[in-house]
Structure 1
Amino acid sequence: MTHILLVPNALKGSLTANEAKTAMEAGVRNACSDCTIVSRPIADGGDGFAEIIGGESGTETVSVEVHDPLGRIVEANFSYNAGDSTAMIDVASACGLAYLKESEYDPLVTSSYGVGELISQVLDLNISHLIIGIGGTATNDAGIGMAAALGVRFLDMAGEEIKIPAGDDLGRISRIDMSDFDPRLANVTVDALCDVNNPLLGEKGAAHVYAPQKGASKEVVERLENGMQHLVTLLSLDLGFNLAHAEGAGAGGGIAAGLAAFLNASLRKGIDMVIEQLHIDDDLDAADLIITTEGRLDSQTLSHGK
């Protein structure tokens, strides 16, 4: 009997991994009614990560209210395992591109502020380990919105606080004040799971590669790139971080860099941890045919770890 393993990832803007699984199962059964089918939805750290890992490990799903990339109230979910004090979140559940109409795409005005709100509410559960899946964002703000929601104050040249910073505010920052940063994070280990290995800056960085997918023109890309370069300089001077070329720092519109700088997160390759957590190796060995999905097969697949 033929053993078929289905390993779907989310299809951006159309299907979640679980929805893709259902469609694939129906198609395979129609073509091969006597085949043995095993379905193992996965995520590479992007859309649906917390749902996939949480569903497999029997964790509790918690819903909270946060602001979406344009400041509207939305419901975001995260997974929580009380037994080992671990929580898992997707940044896309707070600042995902899926929240926006195509006409609303604009990485100059979208903010990751809701991600910080989500993290803050997760911390209310007294966790000791936070795993953050990165990808599928509508933002290109290097995580400054997220950091602001957690107490980091970004001040402009006049000494005024930029309250809910977005991509266009990167170049306006004159000073970073960490004095009100959420103290609970000092006792939490943070792992950031990157769905790509792009650096923050340069031709392969967050602005040049991903901002155009979020509505950026060439002029906007350069504006964001210059803003991120400015932030990198400030982070180096104020916090002693140099993340310009760190592998994976460009993931999620640079949220990965913000997580590393402000939350001291370890940047990890998402798919490796997911495969480890789901114990997929045995299923791979038993399969005669493996069918998987990805949002798009392009240069990122071959060059940037997608």
Structure 2
Amino acid sequence: MIAPDSFKGSLGAAAVCAAVADGARRAVPDAEIAEVPMADGGEGTLDCFLSARGGEQVELPATDPLGRPVRARYALSGDGASAVVELASASGLPLVSDLPPDPMNAGTHGTGELIADAVRRGARDVLVCVGGSASTDGGTGLLRALGFRFTDADGAELPPGGAALARLAAIDASGVPAEVRAVRLRVACDVTNPLVGPAGAAAVFGPQKGATPGQIQELDAALGTFADVVAATTGARVHDLPGAGAAGGTCGGLAGLLGAEPARGAELVADTVGLPDALSGAGLVLTGEGRLDGQSAGGKVVSVVAGLARERGIPAVALAGGLAGPLDDLHALGLTAAFSLADGPRALDELTAEAAPLLAALAEQVVRLHAAR
């Protein structure tokens, strides 16, 4: 079983699988090999879903974080029952890199348009991957696209963006279709930050979106008001919910108003692409990522794959662009061993350019050792 993450800046997860499979076949020509490209809920998750489950890539016009037209995409399963939506496709920071930062007004409406389209097509299980957002709007733009209204004390609709939430007085859900309410929403995130406070969405992620210290304070207060109104509306307290701060509070908004389930991205991706079942009968698991270090044990792809392998008594070996120990936590989770693809002193750009043949060569040696047991 080959189930790696991408090697960012070098190879996508599917290309990693292909290189590792090539090396494995050199060692054991008649080996039965299964390839399940993985991701941690960020960029590349949509492609992993399509590779593992098949289905359709749907592209449609949407709006970018500042309301301009953009073409965005999501994945729909073959039976139309499930979908994967990457927030970055319609609401990502790179989409507004041509303009001066506008963290106070950027929003997530385009992502809501993708979800709404998937629901119209019959999807009833939607995985929302929330990495790379440009906004700090608590997901209100997304929620507007699904039928919610956010109004001030006079009943006037608030404009897009996080800053306007400082004036939020009421949330009207009467326009949310029954189909949307019936959807099982899961949010893939790889952070545990709360919605507000010194470790919240604005304080931690605001700077990378261009927010000044003063704007961070305003946005944090506005998200606090939003969380208060959510609690008054639904009874759900998302102020300090772990993960609620992901994607500028999008995770918190979805959890508080639609009951979305936040969870570690790699775990959700493993479940969505069917990795637990696919592992049945495997004798060796090869996983990996661009850099393996102590942080990889915190819910990244390698740790999740290793844990699933350990539950089934299967050895799991990680192939990585670089290793930085100690890896004790990963070994405790089930990783048998880890190796770097570097075959000697090399510059990073060389390793990046030659990642595929280096991975194939390393995989060949690992599989030869395993086969010789």
Q: TM-score, normalised by structure 2?
A: 0.68
Contact 2:146/2:180 (CA < 8 Å) preserved in 1?
Answer: no
2:181 paired with 1:183: no
- CA drift of 1:245 comes to 1.3
Q: Which amino acid aligns with 2:132?
A: G
Counting aligned pairs with the same residue, the percent is 30
> 2:149 maps to which residue?
153
The reply on whether 1:128 has 2:119 as its aligned counterpart is no
Compared with structure 1, are the counterparts of its residues 205 and 106 closer, same or farther at alpha carbon in structure 2 (3 Å cutoff)?
A: same
Query: 2:82 matched to 1:86?
Result: yes
Which position in structure 2 is the counterpart of 1:237? 232
Distance 1:157 1:114 in 2: 26
Matched residue type, 2:128: I
Residue of structure 2 in register with 1:100 after alignment: 96
Distance 1:267 1:57 in 2: 22
Structure 1 residue matching 2:72: 3-state secondary structure: strand
* Aligned CA distance change for structure 1 residues 39 and 55 (closer, same or farther; 3 Å): closer
- 2:104/2:163 contact within 8 Å kept: yes
**Alpha carbons 1:21, 1:39 under 8 Å: kept:** no
Structure 1 153/68 Cα, relative in aligned 2: closer, same or farther at 3 Å? same
**Match among 9, 16, 26 for residue 6 of structure 2:** 9
Q: What is the match of residue 324 of structure 2?
A: none
* DSSP 3-state at the match of 1:254: helix
Taking the aligned partners of 1:104 and 1:190, their CA distance within structure 2 comes to: 33
Distance 1:304 1:7, change over 3 A: closer
Any idea what the Cα deviations from partners look like across 1:107-145, whole Å, max 9, x if unmatched?
212100111111111111122211211211111111011
Classify 1:151/1:246 alpha carbon distance in 2 versus 1 (closer, same or farther; 3 Å). same
* Distance in structure 2 (CA, Å) of the matches to 1:38 and 1:82: 20
Give the counterpart of 1:260 among 233, 255, 259: 255
Aligned length: 292
How has the CA–CA distance of structure 1 residues 233 and 88 changed in structure 2, closer, same or farther, with 3 Å as cutoff? same
- Paired with 1:303 and 1:155, the residues of 2 have a C-alpha distance of 43
Structure 1 Cα separation of the partners of residues 121 and 260 of structure 2: 19
One-letter amino acid of the structure 1 residue matched with residue 6 of structure 2: N
Check conservation: 2:5, 2:287, Cα contact below 8 A: no
- Larger RCO: 1 or 2 (CA < 8 Å, sep 6+): 1
1:254-292 CA-to-partner distances (Å, cap 9, x unmatched) read 1111111222211121111223435286899736x7541
- Seen in structure 2, the aligned counterparts of structure 1 residues 67 and 86 have a Cα distance that, compared at 3 Å, is same
Q: Which runs of 5+ in 2 are unaligned?
A: 301-373
Alignment-derived partner of residue 166 in structure 1: 161
Give the direction of change, closer, same or farther, for the CA distance of 1:284–1:108 in structure 2 (3 Å limit).
farther
C-alpha contact (below 8 Å) 2:4/2:38 kept by paired residues: yes
Partner AA of 2:5 in structure 1 = P
- 8 Å contact from structure 1 (residues 157, 172) kept in 2: yes
- 1:59-98 CA distance string (max 9 Å, x none): 2111111101111111111111242611111111110112
Q: Which residue in 1 is equivalent to 2:358? A: none
Aligned to 1:143: 139
Q: Which residue number corresponds to residue 351 of structure 2?
A: none
Residue 170 of structure 1: CA displacement? 1.7
Equivalents in 1 of 2:216, 2:298: separation in Å? 19
1:235 deviates by 0.8
